[in-house]
Structure 1
Amino acid sequence: MVNWYGFQTDQGVVHGLYAQPPSVFYKILEDNSFNAVRIPVDLDLILYDRKHGFIKPEPDEVEERAAETNACLAFAPGPAAEDDTLRAAALNASSCGGPSPLMQNTSLQVLEIMVDEFAKRGILVLLDLHCLSTKGTNASPVFFDSSHTVAQALQGWGKLARSFGAKKNVLGADVFNEPLAPRAKGQHPLRLYDNANLDLVLTGNFDN
């Protein structure tokens, strides 16, 4: 299994797509016999979706001249994800011969497209609720905080289940990455974590 980070960052999509189109990475996985990919996401992404950064077009999606240049690399990762001006430039990048069609999709839509592409290649997917926001794991020692309630975490898990549970190649979801935190309000967060998961599994109450 390989970890492919990015959806849980400001880039809003797996890293590397600003430099090479998706097909390059699919081929790398196939050529090296990887049969599973772990994809980290954050709770904010699941609940609210987001705009993602630049995705380089496939060669057959651009003019021949543009396909032979590095013009698309001018659109860098990171801040581009939240920079509407740069994103608009990417959508109309004449120097790239036109944008990747994936630029018309939101982050979650791209994730679903990629999961389906993995399925075509016999690659399994493990979704990982890695953190609460793009601030990362250091800001997310447990699955809730002052800005993210337990109810919202349950809502996020439910949304993942509804969106990806029927995908034949999604082997499961890591409901939270390495939860670690001191005791909160007299009860250890891991006990709350267990209780929340038990409630979700037993009741199927994904919407509350």
Structure 2
Amino acid sequence: MFHSLRRALCAAAAALLLPLAGAHTAHAATTPAAAATPAAAPGAGYWHTSGRQILDAAGQPVRIAGVNWFGFETSNQVVHGLWSRDYRSMIDQMRSLGYNTIRLPYSDDILKPGAVPNSIDFSGGKNADLQGLTSLQVLDKIVAYAGQDGLKVILDRHRPDAGGQSALWYTSSVPESTWMTDLKALATRYLGQDTVIGIDLHNEPHDPACWGCGDTSVDWRLAAERAGNAVLSVNPNLLIFVEGVQSYNGVSGWWGGNLMGVAQYPVRLDVPGRLVYSAHDYATSVAQQSWFSDPSFPANMPGIWDTYWGYIFKQNIAPVWLGEFGTTLQPTVDQKWLSALVSYLRPTSTYGADSFQWTFWSWNPDSGDTGGILKDDWVTVDTVKDGYLTSIKAPLFPGSGSGGSGGGGGGGTAASCSASYAVSSDWGSGFNADVTVTNTGSTALTSWKVTWTWSGAQKVTNMWNASYTQSGATVTAVNAAQNGTVPAGSSVSFGFGGAPGGGGVPRVSCTAQ
């Protein structure tokens, strides 16, 4: 809700160009289990809706179960955390934890000519292919790699400019015409790239925004129709995500979380099967609400959610996507809230496609009033927070499983590979490193193994996108289920945390399986 608070830590963290270290990294996460992808995984092509379900191009039900990765909407004009890690390792880690969609907030500033990102670390080969790119070109890279990893992307017009959120979809400096032009520009930019499944038209409309009042200067429902139809006029394949408002008929709720007006005033789009309603819901770490102090809490919460947005799904009006929900999990009341919400979102069917959609706020740890899936070192997973979401995660979507173009040779005639090792950060008591595996042969790898031996007493503390064994100073890492297949000339990566620091870069070897 109060996103100004969420960004309180962003500028300072970005300026340091370093991850927070020390005590935070001492609590290493257990190695995340790779999520298995069904043989006939749904999700291919563009998506459309039917009743309360979202269907893929083949008509199979799909379910959004993802995370918000913010930063493009801030003065950094790029996703946060690239001052610490390579963007590909971040996306690989999302995939390894079982998240299948990324919501990417942005502001209209990134569409201005010459808009360039800042606070990206290029040392040690990190983010090397982003050097010299504009913010939009970096967005292209993130979209492309997410698609290769089997993730979908939802673009979220989060702010009119990097200065902050706005109650309405326009401001004195960013008129409605600019909003519409920029939405159409993004829809056109990703025309034919079905990794981008849709656009969230404007984040968290709130008072004085109304729903169904008929005043075109404040009626968000009418504005969403204008913008949604503008997007569909240039890219009719996209889903149009429409958030709620704050107040309807005197009943107030979270910013963007009140969809009570849909019952009487539904959004009307020119292209059928493209509308998804979106709500936001938070706990007391963001703000206090009356329902948290109800004597019946948390048993009262399903009725609250039904009233504000759940009825749309339950009455088969349209799909409902909980685009943001999050908490620090520090207060006991927040823990009860998240447990109740997960139960409310949990599918009842065996396959689970006929259910609510969701993206958790946030992947980033630098959200001041919620924290994130990652801890402050930008590597370690908050396994408690992630654990709450395990039962509502969904199948991954088809992707190449490749980490994109590699720098491998390609002159061989049999399966062969090489590996490169880069330390992404070292703070003395610990360090983070990334390893890139490149197929240097002419045939696809089906699995791989990487080995190295440290000269000191370093130990792996956690690893993602690979499993490992360590005997003395020698570490052997084997691919995870999702990144064993590597086409000729392509690369995949995995990363890990270790301790103590100061180990330097050992010689690594790669064996094709």
Q: TM-score, normalized by length of structure 2?
A: 0.30
The residue that corresponds to 2:227 in the other structure is 197
Can you give the 5+ residue segments of structure 2 that lack an aligned partner in the other structure? 1-65, 236-513
Mark the CA change 1:203 to 1:105 in structure 2 (over 3 Å): closer, same or farther: closer
Instruction: Work out which structure has the larger RCO, using CA pairs closer than 8 Å and 6 or more positions apart in sequence.
Output: 1
- Please list, as runs of the form range in 1=range in 2, the aligned pairs for 1:63-78 lying within 5 A after superposition: none
Given the alignment, which residue of 157, 176, 195 partners 1:129?
157
Kept in 2, the 8 Å contact 1:2–1:36? The answer is yes
How far is the alpha carbon of 1:202 from its aligned partner? 7.1
The residue that corresponds to 2:174 in the other structure is 148
- Please list, as runs of the form range in 1=range in 2, the aligned pairs for 1:171-186 lying within 5 A after superposition: 171-182=197-208
The residue that corresponds to 1:83 in the other structure is none
Given the alignment, which residue of 64, 73, 78 partners 1:13?
78
What SS class does the counterpart of residue 104 from structure 1 fall into? coil
Deviates more, 1:105-114 or 1:165-174: 165-174
The residue that corresponds to 1:93 in the other structure is none
2:224 maps to amino acid = D
Mark the CA change 1:164 to 1:20 in structure 2 (over 3 Å): closer, same or farther: same
Kept in 2, the 8 Å contact 1:130–1:177? The answer is yes
1:53 aligns with 2:118: yes
Percent identity, aligned pairs only?
Answer: 28
The residue that corresponds to 1:66 in the other structure is none
What SS class does the counterpart of residue 130 from structure 1 fall into? strand
Give the whole-Å Cα distance in 2 for the aligned partners of 1:32 and 1:172: 23
Kept in 1, the 8 Å contact 2:187–2:234? The answer is no
Mark the CA change 1:104 to 1:149 in structure 2 (over 3 Å): closer, same or farther: same
Q: Give the structure with the higher percent strand.
A: 2
Kept in 1, the 8 Å contact 2:73–2:105? The answer is yes
The residue that corresponds to 1:104 in the other structure is 132
What SS class does the counterpart of residue 154 from structure 2 fall into? strand
Kept in 2, the 8 Å contact 1:54–1:103? The answer is no
1:116 aligns with 2:144: yes
How far is the alpha carbon of 1:3 from its aligned partner? 0.3
Give the whole-Å Cα distance in 1 for the aligned partners of 2:134 and 2:120: 12
Q: Give the structure with the higher percent helix.
A: 1
How far is the alpha carbon of 1:165 from its aligned partner? 3.1
Mark the CA change 1:48 to 1:141 in structure 2 (over 3 Å): closer, same or farther: farther
Q: TM-score, normalized by length of structure 1?
A: 0.70
Mark the CA change 1:181 to 1:165 in structure 2 (over 3 Å): closer, same or farther: farther
> What is the alpha-carbon root mean square deviation over aligned residues?
2.6
Aligned residues: 166
Give the whole-Å Cα distance in 2 for the aligned partners of 1:29 and 1:18: 18
The residue that corresponds to 1:3 in the other structure is 68
